[in-house]
Amino acid sequence: GSVILAGGAKGKRSALPNSTVLLHQPSQGFEGFVQAADLEIRAREIGKVRDRIDQIFVEATGQSADRIHADSDRDFYLTAEEAREYGLIDQIVKPRTALTDDSSDTEA
């Protein structure tokens, strides 16, 4: 989700005030028995995916590659305000409040 959020058009990336954004490294589950050679292949692929995701975040946020890599090494949660400061979003939008329109109660 955070890759999609960061990949939005700059100036239009938004979150609600109570949003939480999570950065983390890619992971993959394994079912059953897996041969060592297959584990090596999957590990290489996960490494490539991580490098690409790190680069997406570098381009989207302006943060350094080292910071992105370190921050995403474990689950890294950000509030909406922290996500804006980090460069993942551009604005925090306020939810709409219920409109009270007395004119709808008037008779014709």
CA 9/CA 2 separation, integer angstroms: 14
pTM over 0.85: no
* Number of folded domains that form the chain: 1
Helices of type H across the chain: 2-6, 36-61, 65-71, 80-86
Question: What is residue 108's predicted lDDT score, i.e. its pLDDT?
Answer: 47
Q: Is residue 108 a part of any domain in this protein?
A: no
Pair of tokens at residue 6: 């960061």
Tally of CA atoms within 13 A in the half-sphere of 97 that contains its CB? 2
Domain of 68 in residue numbering reads as: 2-28+36-93
Residues of the chain with pLDDT under 70: 98-108
Q: Is residue 87 a part of any domain in this protein?
A: yes
